[in-house]
Amino acid sequence: MKEFRFHGRGGQGTVLASIALAKAFFQAGYWVQTFPVFGSERRGAPVEAYLRLETTKIYLRSNVYTPDHVIVQDAGLLGFLDITRGLKPGGWILLNAPALPADRTAFDGFCLACIDASAIALHHGLGSKTQPITNTAMMGAFARLFTNPPLEAVLQAIESEMPVKIAENVAAARTAYDAVVLHGLVRGSELQPAAGPLFRKAVA
């Protein structure tokens, strides 16, 4: 079983991204669960969503407390949220940022990947400068980092789930798929190469 936690802000499409990815994984043959947790329903408030997947039926019904990997749609959350809480050692953190954080102390023992999803979203006309809608760019980066679900399945999920600007959202996912940078495992002040996580093949 693999479990993911998504961090974002209201209005960025964090929950929609987790739902669309769940549908893409389902189309690829996995059993899936996805559900959100809202601290406040106001726009810009921190939001969490969870995705659980397995190659067989999932009977677990609890929250995700120890995710395998974490996706962060807004780097501004790093200043006041512990996005590594419960994260399994060696887990990947996919971060919406143009470059690695200068202070990587909090990420020691975890793997980092970065994608400038905000810039990609703005380039494709998704959202505004003050609030780019980064969810589909993050989905494309997700597909590249985790090698699953297949990019084409992600693009199909975007086409079926996104309410507006479908072509632009698909383009953002493709751009991010090609642009995401896998920096590797953080060990003190150093980075060590680390391969993206491998999934067991789903049985159709």
Residue 157 and residue 13: Cα distance in Å, rounded?
14
pLDDT of residue 61: 83
Residue 51 and residue 36: Cα distance in Å, rounded?
9
- In the chain, the percentage of residues whose pLDDT exceeds 90 is 66
Average pLDDT over all residues of the chain: 90
Is the pLDDT at 156 greater than 70? The verdict is yes
Nearest to 27 by CA among 146, 153, 191, 134: 153
Burial-class residue 203 by CB neighbours within 10 Å (0-12, 13-18, 19+): exposed
Write 147-152 long-range contacts (CB < 8 A, 24+). Answer: 147/196, 147/197, 147/198, 147/199, 148/25, 148/28, 148/199, 149/21, 149/24, 149/25, 149/27, 149/28, 149/30, 150/24, 150/28, 151/177
pLDDT of residue 102: 86
Is the pLDDT at 38 greater than 70? The verdict is no
Is the pLDDT at 194 greater than 90? The verdict is no
Nearest to 69 by CA among 92, 90, 48, 51: 92
Q: Are 102 and 121 in contact (CB under 8 A)?
A: no
pLDDT of residue 62: 84
Domains of the chain: 2-192 (3.40.920.10)
Per-residue pLDDT of 121-148, as tens digits, reads 999 999 888 889 999 999 999 999 999 9
